[in-house]
Amino acid sequence: MIPVAFDYVRPSTVEDAVSALANAGEEGKVLAGGQSLLPVLRLRLAAPSVLVDLGGLAQLRGARVDGDRLAVGAMTTHAEVAGSDVVRAEVPLLAAAAARIGDRQVRHLGTLGGALAHADPSGDLPTVAVALDAELVVAGPGGRRSIPAAEFFRDLFTTALGPDEVLVEVRLPRLAGWGYRYEKFQRTAQAWATVGVAAAVRRENGSIAEARVALTNMGPTPVRAVAVERALAGADASADALAAAAEHAAEGASPASDLAASAEYREHLARVLTRRALTAAAGL
């Protein structure tokens, strides 16, 4: 299949990108890595009049430490995120999840910003962003604003981004020294996550000082496993305590039933995978 015809612009500044989007109105669409968008276009499920390609924005690539945050440019590819020394040192959970996205070819083109703005409920990176309370910096006609991940993901494929806004940077807390695990369950290696669990754990004196847990594909947006985190706070870093906490994993989730799995099975998986993720993250 071949996409419906569209116009194409490739701005070289963020400001130009924003104004190109504003000019496009309702019919504009941002092209980041294109790994989700191009299949949609090929199947003619969408027919934007203009594609605004952010591929020329070199300033949106790369990761750096900025105070107590790790700042990653939105156009940094999954392969770059997964392979970045600074990401692996500061937020290894993000690198681990990025390494599990799609396949090599997809990771070479797909970008962090694209994956977040796409807001696929089975996407891995939105879950990490929510688990870690990332802040998403967006640029619009009125300048830049920062949106907490918890508020960024509004619904299935729906974010707080305005149609003339561009996601430019993702800021994450530096979690060097935390244990982490992205546990991904797939029907086949090519399949999207049936369920995923992002877990980061800080141990202190044999107990869990802090834990952050979020789930992939357990609702229209990433689900923060609040009940699990609550149960973990101050708990012993023991297998039993982690298992008990993981039993709360599906609380507050509203998973779908689809071809890959039923809601009931997803809830079961969420509990099992959360236990496994916590166990790994806690180094047990």
Partner 1 sequence: MARISLTVDGVTYTDDVAPRTLLAYYLRDQLGKVGTVIGCDTTNCGACTVLMTDADGVPRSVKSCAVLAVQADGRGVTTIEGLAPDGDMHPMQRAFHEQHALQCGFCTPGMIMSAVDLVADNPDPTEDEVREGLEGNLCRCTGYQNIVRAVVAAAAEMRGAGAAPSTAEAPAKPAPEPAEVAS
Partner 2 sequence: MTAVAEPEIGRARLRKEDARLITGRTRWTENIALPGMLHMAILRSAHAHARISRVDVSAAAAAPNVVTAFSGSDVAETQGTLACAWPVTEDIVMPTYPPLAVTEVRHVGEPVAVVVARDRASALDALELIDIDYEPLPVVRDMEAALGEGSPLVHADAGTNKSYTWIFDSAQAGSGGDVAAAAQEAEVTIKQRYVQQRLIPSSLEPRSVIVDPTSGDWTIYSATQIPHILRFLLAATTGTPEHKINVVAPDVGGGFGGKLAVTPEEWIAFAAANRVGRPVKYTESRSETMVSAHHGRDVIQDITLYAKRDGTVTGLDVKLTANMGAYLGLVTPGVPILGAFMYNAIYKFPAYRFECTGVFTNTTKTDAYRGAGRPEATYAIERTMDELAAELGLDPIEVRRRNWIKHEEFPFTTVATLTYDSGNYEAATDKAMSLLGYAELRAEQEARRAADDRVQLGIGISTYTEMCGLAPSRVLGALRYGAGGWENASVRMLPTGKVEVVTGTSPHGQGHVTAWSQIVADRLGVPFEDVEVRHGDTRIAHKGLDTYGSRSLTVGGIALVQACDRVVEKARTVAAHLLECSTDDLEFADGTFRVRGTPDAAKTMGDCALAVFAAHNLPDGVEATLDADATFDPQTFSFPHGTHLCAADVDRETGEVHIRRYVCVDDVGRVINPMIVEGQVHGGVAQGIAQALFEEAVYDADGNLLTGSFVDYTIPSAVDLPTIESDRTETPATSNPLGVKGVGEAGTIASTPAVVNAIVDALRPYGVRDVPMPCTPERVWRAIRSASSQEVTS
Partner 3 sequence: MQMEHAFTVPVPVAQAWDVLLDVERVAPCMPGATLTSFDGEAFEGTVRVKLGPVSMTYKGRGRFASTDEANRQVVIEASGRDSRGGGTAAATATANLQSTEDGAATRVTIVTDLAVTGRPAQFGRGMIADVGGRLLGQFADCLATTLAEGSGSPPPAEPAAEAPIAAAPSPAAPAAEAPTAAAPPARPRRSADAIDLLQVTGISAMARKAAPYVIGFVVGGLVTWALISLFG
- Among partner 2, partner 3, partner 1, none, what does residue 221 contact (CB within 5–8 Å per kind)? partner 3
Identify each DSSP E strand in 119-267 by its residue range.
135-140, 143-148, 153-155, 158-159, 166-173, 179-185, 195-204, 207-216, 223-224
Six-digit token pair at 2? Answer: 């071949």
Pick from 158, 226, 239, 264: which binds partner 3 (CB under 8 A)?
Answer: 158
How does strand 28-31 pair with strand 50-53?
Answer: parallel
Pick from 24, 30, 41, 138: which binds partner 1 (CB under 8 A)?
Answer: 41
How does strand 135-140 pair with strand 166-173?
Answer: antiparallel
Tell me which amino acid residue 230 is. R
Using a 10 angstrom Cβ sphere, with 0-12 exposed, 13-18 middle and 19 or more buried, the burial of residue 52 is buried
Element (H, E) at 52: strand 50-53
Pick from 83, 162, 236, 243: which binds partner 3 (CB under 8 A)?
Answer: 162
The yes or no reply on residue 259 touching partner 3 (CB under 8 A) is: yes
The yes or no reply on residue 137 touching partner 1 (CB under 8 A) is: no
Coil, strand or helix: which one is 182?
Answer: strand
Q: Which is nearer to partner 1, 3 or 92 (CB)?
A: 3
Q: Which is nearer to partner 3, 46 or 65 (CB)?
A: 46
Tell me which amino acid residue 74 is. A
Binding to partner 2 (CB under 8 A) within 8-37 occurs at none
C-alpha distance across the termini of the chain, in Å: 49
The yes or no reply on residue 254 touching partner 3 (CB under 8 A) is: yes
- Cα–Cα distance, 284 to 279 (Å, whole number): 5
The yes or no reply on residue 1 touching partner 1 (CB under 8 A) is: yes
Count of chain residues binding partner 1 (CB under 8 A): 33
Stretch that binds partner 3, among 12-20, 39-47, 241-249, 267-275 (CB under 8 A): 39-47
Binding to partner 1 (CB under 8 A) within 44-63 occurs at 51, 53, 55, 58, 61
- Cα–Cα distance, 25 to 71 (Å, whole number): 30
Binding site for partner 1 (CB under 8 A): 1-8, 10, 31, 34-35, 38-39, 41-43, 51, 53, 55, 58, 61, 77, 79, 102-106, 108-109, 189-190
Binding site for partner 3 (CB under 8 A): 4, 26, 29, 36-37, 39-41, 43-48, 118-122, 154-164, 192, 217, 219-221, 254-260
